[in-house]
Amino acid sequence: MSGIGPVEPGEGTTMRGPADVDVIGPETGAPRLSDRWAALPRSRRRATVSVACATVLAALAGYAAATRPAPPEPPPPPWPAQATRFEYEGPGRDTPDRATRTFTLRFTVSVTEGPPVTVREIRLSSESVTTVAAPATPFTVEAGSEVRIVLRFHVRDCRGVPRKVVLAFLDVTLRNTRAIQQESYIIGGDYPDDLFTALRTSCENSSQVAQKHAPELGILSM
Q: CB within 8 A of 19, min separation 6: which ones?
A: none
pLDDT at 108 over 70: yes
Give the model confidence (pLDDT) of 29-86 as tens digits: 555 656 665 666 777 667 766 767 777 677 766 766 666 677 888 889 999 999 999 9
Helix, strand, coil share (%) of the chain residues, nearest 5: 25, 30, 45
H or E element, residue 186: strand 180-186
Q: Give me the chain's average pLDDT, please.
A: 79
pTM: 0.63
% the chain with pLDDT above 90: 41
What is the structure's pLDDT at 35? 62
Quick: pLDDT tens for 13-24.
555 555 554 555
Strand partners, 15: none
pLDDT in tens, 146-170: 999 999 999 999 887 776 766 788 9
Q: What is the pLDDT of residue 213?
A: 41
Integer Cα distance of 103 and 90 in angstroms: 12
